[in-house]
Amino acid sequence: MKTCIACGMPMENASDYAMGDVKKDYCRFCARPDGSMQSYEEKLSSLTDFIIKTQGLDRQVAGSTAKAMLAKLPAWS
């Protein structure tokens, strides 16, 4: 099992990978519609929105949390 280099999500099934391609190192949530990996700014924005939605934090705190999470991942180090 691989872990997404851009968000840390475990990728267990082909459907978890970008475009279903198990050779990619990033997940379907970190891929653009064409299959390329999102930029740092795109990922930061989507992760911030996800944190707001799931944890109810305000945007500033969610953004700081997202930055701290992304800093620990290989794609953004």
pLDDT of 41: 97
Rounded mean pLDDT for each run of 10 residues along the chain, 77 residues in total: 95 96 96 97 96 96 97 95
User: Which pLDDT does position 24 carry in this prediction?
Assistant: 96
Q: Which residues pair with 37 in a beta bridge?
A: 31
Helix (H) or strand (E) holding 42: helix 40-55
Q: What are phi and psi of 33, to 5 degrees?
A: -55, -30
Global confidence as pTM: 0.87
- What gap in Å lies between CA 61 and CA 47, rounded to an integer? 12
